[in-house]
Chains A and B, each alone.
Chain A
Amino acid sequence: TQLLEQSPQFLSIQEGENLTVYCNSSSVFSSLQWYRQEPGEGPVLLVTVVTGGEVKKLKRLTFQFGDARKDSSLHITAAQPGDTGLYLCAGGRPVAGGTSYGKLTFGQGTILTVHP
């Protein structure tokens, strides 16, 4: 069973602060997705990273995929109240093989609250 662990589980910060969320696994994934989810809604895709060491930027959000494709991080610069939500990382097909049909393995999520 492939497991993804996210940390921290909860994050409460003031507007303007920076933050980093981590996603770690003992397994190697072919890709990793980050999603943001608001209460009562489905996860919305933020980014997919595929190559080890890859860095992607989305406005104030920076995503990095570890060199070994086992871990990832999400960094938010100058957080705003609109960034509040549940952030989920999800691993794609494991490189170790087996048949997964592309199902995603999710971390437990990081609940971010940004206070004005």
Chain B
Amino acid sequence: DTGVSQNPRHKITKRGQNVTFRCDPISEHNRLYWYRQTLGQGPEFLTYFQNEAQLEKSRLLSDRFSAERPKGSFSTLEIQRTEQGDSAMYLCACRRGGATDTQYFGPGTRLTVL
């Protein structure tokens, strides 16, 4: 257990529906990242928060995707009008501030879009 939790662990939805995932990072880690991982690949960066500020978004993050971290603690990732290509594992990671790059990952949310 890394201390990072994600909910739900699994989500099955129909194409066109909206879904929302939640990440609760380690409490003293103010940097938070979302990644997406498809089968047979390494995780790919989606977006980054420092406290409540969203400072970077990948080009992978289309306008159907939105992420928030309203109080600088937990974060949510919402996908609107889901498509089959959105099926993937969505991973949340966090780290302390400062020079360290070491990130700690949650267990992920597996999304299946039918």
Q: Please count how many residues in chain A sit with their CB below 8 Å of the partner chain's CB atoms.
A: 26
Please determine whether B48 and A108 come into contact, CB atoms closer than 8 angstroms.
no
Say yes or no: A93-B42 contact (C-beta < 8 A), given A42-B2, A42-B108, A101-B48. Answer: no
Chain B residue contacts of A31, Cβ below 8 A: 100-102
Which residues of A lie under 8 Å from residue B50 when comparing CB positions?
101
Contact with B along A86-99 (1 / 0, CB 8 A): 00101011000001
Mostly helix, strand, loop or mixed at chain A's interface? loop
> Which residues of B (19-36) have their CB < 8 Å from a CB of A?
31, 33, 35
CB distance from A96 to the nearest CB of B (A): 15
A:47-96 near B, CB below 8 Å? 48, 88, 90, 92-93
B105 lies within 8 A of A93 (CB): no
Q: How many residues of chain B get a CB closer than 8 Å to chain A's CBs?
A: 30
A41 to chain B, nearest CB (A): 5
Which has the most chain A C-beta neighbours within 10 Å: B50, B55, B103?
A: B103
A11: interface (CB < 8 Å)? no
- Do A106 and B44 form a contact, CB below 8 Å, given A44-B2, A101-B50, A101-B56? yes
Contact A101 B42 (CB under 8 A): no
The interface bits of chain A over 17-38 (1 if a CB of B lies within 8 angstroms of the residue's CB, else 0) are 0000000000000110101000
Bound together, the chains give a CA A31 to CA B58 distance in angstroms of 21
| Chain A residues closer than 8 Å to B33, beta-carbon distance | 102-104
Assuming the contacts A40-B110, A44-B2, A109-B41, asked whether A103 and B105 have C-beta atoms less than 8 A apart, the reply is no
A8 at the interface (CB under 8 A from B): no
B41 → chain A closest CB, angstroms: 6
Q: Is the CB of B42 within 8 A of A42?
A: no
A4 to B41, CA, bound (A): 12
Is A104 a contact partner of B107 (Cβ separation < 8 A)? no
In angstroms, how far is the closest chain A Cβ from the Cβ of B26? 12
